[in-house]
Amino acid sequence: MERLALIGVSYRRGGATALEHWQNHIQSTPHQQWVERGLREVVFLNTCNRCDVIASLPETMGVTEAKQLLAPSDAGRCYAYVGEGAVEQLSRIASSLDSLNPGEYQIMQQTREAFAEAEKEGTVGKDTRFAFTTAFRIAKRVRREVELAPLNTSLFSLAKPVLEQHIPENAHIGIVGMGEMGQIAARVLHERPDTTLHLVNRTRSRAETFAPQLQCPTQLHSLDEFLASPPPLHALVCATPASQIINEGVLQRLADVSVIVDLGIPRNVDSIAAKAHHILVLDVDTLQEAGKERRHKIEQNLIHAENILLEELDLAVEEWLERQLGPAIRKLREDYVAAIPPEIPEGQVQRLANRFSKVPIRGLRALARHHGIAAAKTFLDAIRNPDS
Considering only residues 378 and 312, tell me which one the structure prediction assigns the higher pLDDT.
Answer: 312
Q: What is the pLDDT of residue 199?
A: 97
What is the per-residue pLDDT across 149-161, written as a single tens digit (0 to 9) for each?
887 788 899 999 9
Neighbouring C-beta atoms of residue 311, cutoff 10 Å:
12
Q: Render pLDDT for 265-289 as a digit per residue (tens, 0 to 9).
A: 888 999 999 999 999 999 888 888 8
Q: State residue 195's pLDDT score.
A: 96
Specify the pTM: 0.80
User: Long-range contacts: 300-305, Cβ < 8 Å, 24+?
Assistant: 301/146, 301/147, 301/148, 302/97, 302/102, 302/148, 304/145, 304/146, 305/95, 305/97, 305/142, 305/146, 305/148
The pLDDT tens digits for 86-133 are 999 999 999 999 998 999 888 988 999 999 999 999 999 999 999 999
Task: Please give the pLDDT value at position 362.
Answer: 62
CATH class of segment(s) 4-145: alpha beta
* CA pseudo-torsion sign 360, 361, 366, 371: positive
Contacts of 106 by beta carbon, 8 Å cutoff, 6+ apart? 154, 180, 184
Say if residue 374's pLDDT is above 80.
Answer: no
**Domain-by-domain residue ranges, the chain?**
4-145, 155-287, 325-388
Residue 133's CB is within 10 A of a number of other CB atoms, namely 12
Of the chain, the percentage scoring pLDDT greater than 90 comes to 59
Q: Does residue 231 have a cis bond before it (omega within 30 degrees)?
A: no
Write the CB contacts of 217 (distance below 8 Å, at least 6 apart in sequence): 195, 196, 197
CA dihedral 109, 111, 117, 122 (to 10 degrees): -140
In percent, the amount of the chain with pLDDT more than 70 equals: 84
What's the whole-number mean pLDDT along residues 367-387? 62
How confident is the model at residue 288, as a pLDDT?
A: 85
Fold exhibited by the domain 155-287: Rossmann fold (3.40.50)
C-beta separation of 78 from 22 below 8 A: yes
Backbone angles phi, psi at 4, to 5 degrees: -75, 140
Is it the case that residue 388 has pLDDT exceeding 60?
A: no
Q: Among positive and negative, which fits the CA dihedral 177, 183, 188, 190?
A: positive
Of 73 and 138, which is predicted with more confidence?
138
pLDDT, residue 284, reads: 81
pLDDT, residue 14, reads 79
Q: pLDDT tier at 379 (50, 70, 90 boundaries)?
A: low
What is the layout of strands, in order, in the sheet containing 79-82? Answer: 42-46, 50-56, 4-10, 79-82
Give the chain's length.
388
pLDDT band at 355, cuts 50/70/90?
A: low
Strands 280-282 and 172-176: unpaired
Judged on CB neighbours under 10 Å (0-12, 13-18, 19+), 331 is exposed
3-class SS string, the chain:
CCCEEEEEEECCCEHHHHHHHHHHHHHCCCHHHHHHCCCCCEEEEECCCEEEEEEECCCCCCHHHHHHHHCCCCCCCCEEEECHHHHHHHHHHHCCCCCCCCCCCHHHHHHHHHHHHHHHHCCCCHHHHHHHHHHHHHHHHHHHHCCCCCCCCCHHHHHHHHHHCCCCCCCEEEEECCCHHHHHHHHHHCCCCCCEEEEEECCHHHHHHHHHHCCCCEEEEEHHHHHHCCCCCCEEEECCCCCCCECHHHHHCCCCCCEEEECCCCCCECHHHHHHCCCEEECCCCCHHHHHHHHHHCHHHHHHHHHHHHHHHHHHHHHHHHHHHHHHHHHHHHHHHHHCCCCCCHHHHHHHHHHHHHHHHHHHHHHHHHHCHHHHHHHHHHHHCCCC
